[in-house]
Structure 1
């Protein structure tokens, strides 16, 4: 869709409840509001992690844009992809242990998607920033020690690479360094510029 110049009065909204995405957005030094998107995140039958992440990022942005049609809205989603199987947020200790046991010694793809929507301008674009992550062959004791220390139960894949979770990994491969934390800022900036938002 064609982009429309960003009006100085047009609000910027992050459609997310994630504190990690909010912290990342603050790096851009733009004023923005935060609105929780009301979106059903249940995967569809046969939906790949790649497609799920893109669909949910766009759905989140669109849900908030319906409430704030003149605003430029950012939506994002991340799905941990283990050999084509989506792994969500564990939610509790037992599920996190089970996830990390499955992931040890494995190469994962964290499918991180971002979408930018302005309903009034008819603008809607999205992008994917996949991150390849190689987990070490973790012992049960290492898994337990990590989870007790960081309790990353609200993170897809049960680990925070920006914290102690980096010690679980052998390698990270990405062309958008913040994608693994949950919001790919290089892709986000590209989409915001396409929507007419002046960043610098």
Structure 2
């Protein structure tokens, strides 16, 4: 979804519409001052909705929700959905669900759909993009799954594994054109959209 590019607007505040510490840490790499604001969005998938469409819809909904309260700001919204043969896998939330997710993914390829939206109501700017990351999991024995989950407890991560940590040992391969997308925020696409919204970056 695209509108005309916004005029240069270096004075506009930047807001990350997320409570994710992973996205906050990634955005901080750009050296830009920003605030965070928690979006109030129902993340329940719609009937028949693909993981890709779900991620895009939620990223835009989050950005729009925060922008409605901060219309002068440039707002970033993002969402990630793990796509296992067309079925969405969200954050497990607890140990039992994480075990079930990793058992379902072992020996298989999962597409992590990481969507991004940037919205500025005052400028009439709205653009979205998506990074699809292909992740191939090794065949994991039950005891490997148990040891990993006890060690890292990735219950707030879609797909139940942290590739930036010990979770990398669960994988055979990662294919992506935007390296930070798997962690939760595709920074190449983020900088592209922020420049289009009028922010100056190095």
**Normalising by structure 1, what TM-score?**
0.99
Query: How far apart are 1:2 and its partner, in Å?
Result: 1.0
Moved more, 6-15 or 151-160: 6-15
Distance 2:43 2:140 in 1: 30
CA drift of 1:167 comes to 0.1
CA distance in 2, matches of 1:21, 1:72: 16
Runs of 4+ in 1 over 4 A off after TM superposition: none
Aligned position for 1:165: 167
The one-character-per-residue Cα deviations of 1:56-88 (angstroms, maximum 9, x if unpaired) are 000000000000000000000000000000001
Counterpart pick for 1:69 among 68, 71, 78: 71
Q: Which runs of 5+ in 1 are unaligned?
A: none
Write the deviation string for residues 127-165 of structure 1: whole angstroms up to 9, x where unpaired.
Answer: 000000000000001000000000000000000000000
CA contact (8 A) 1:89 1:156 kept: yes
Paired residue for 2:140?
Answer: 138
CA distance in 2, matches of 1:158, 1:8: 38
Name the residue aligned to 2:6: 4
Aligned-pair CA distance for 1:3: 1.6
Q: CA deviation at 1:7?
A: 2.3
Q: Which residue matches 1:126?
A: 128
Note the residue ranges of structure 2 that are not aligned, 5 or more in a row: none
**Contact 1:5–1:197 under 8 Å retained in 2:** no
Equivalent residue for 1:43? 45
Contact kept in structure 2, 1:62 and 1:117, CA below 8 Å: yes
**2:117–2:129: 8 Å Cα contact kept in structure 1?**
yes
Match of 2:56 in 1: 54
**1:111 shift after superposition:** 0.2
Corresponding residue of 1:110:
112
Question: Offset of 1:8 from its aligned partner?
Answer: 3.0
Aligned residues: 200
Q: CA RMSD in A?
A: 0.6
Q: What displacement does 1:4 show?
A: 1.7
Task: Please say if residues 132 and 172 of structure 1, whose CA atoms lie closer than 8 Å, have aligned partners that are also in contact.
Answer: yes
Match among 174, 182, 189 for residue 191 of structure 2: 189
Cα distance in 2 for partners of 1:125, 1:4 equals 11
